[in-house]
Amino acid sequence: MNATRKSSVCKPVAMSVTVMFMALVIANSAFSEQSAQPKNEQLPLSGIVLLNKNAQGQATSVVLDEKAETPKALLDLLPAKKDTRKLTKEEIRQVAEKNRLFNDWDINPVLRFQDGDISAFSKEDLPAWNIELQFLARRIVIEAAEREKAKIPSQGDLSALSNPVFSWLYDLARKKWEKDTK
């Protein structure tokens, strides 16, 4: 009889410990997700980065308002230093993930990065800072296209549209690096 009582008492206690543990895991993951940028939250760049579109709704060029104040969220994503080392394939993948290039995009699903994109970048002889800025520029253009419902037909078109954004980001990063060395 005692064994039966013990087991009936232990089950609820064990179950409540399990439930509490699960609640802590869920609360912890919710907290860590709050501190990180939500998966689909866009950078606050509407009005700063705009796209011109043709009659078919395809993006044809990027318009930058470089005189507008640059949001802190964007400045925080710039490389902290001019890192000249070559990244490994895995590091390149991590930079792409950080910039959401593996996202499933609503308007431009063809722009979702694939393993071949990572392989292509790993074969280039580009320093880390360059890849970080290129991927951030691509993210900014894709987000503008999604926001404005503009089509970008291919990765090559995305690359061309990203060039002026890359130049703008490089200027911002260079100022940040110069400021940090003074």
> Residue ranges of the domains in the chain?
1-36, 49-181
Residue the block writes with tokens 């690096």: 177
Residues 157-177 have pLDDT tens digits of 999 999 999 999 999 999 999
Model-wide pTM > 0.75: yes
* Whether the Cβ atoms of residue 78 and residue 172 lie closer than 8 Å to each other: yes
Instruction: Assess whether pLDDT exceeds 90 at residue 64.
Output: yes
Residues 16-38 have pLDDT tens digits of 333 333 333 333 333 333 334 44
Cα angle, residue 48 at apex, residues 146 and 51 outer, rounded to 5°: 45
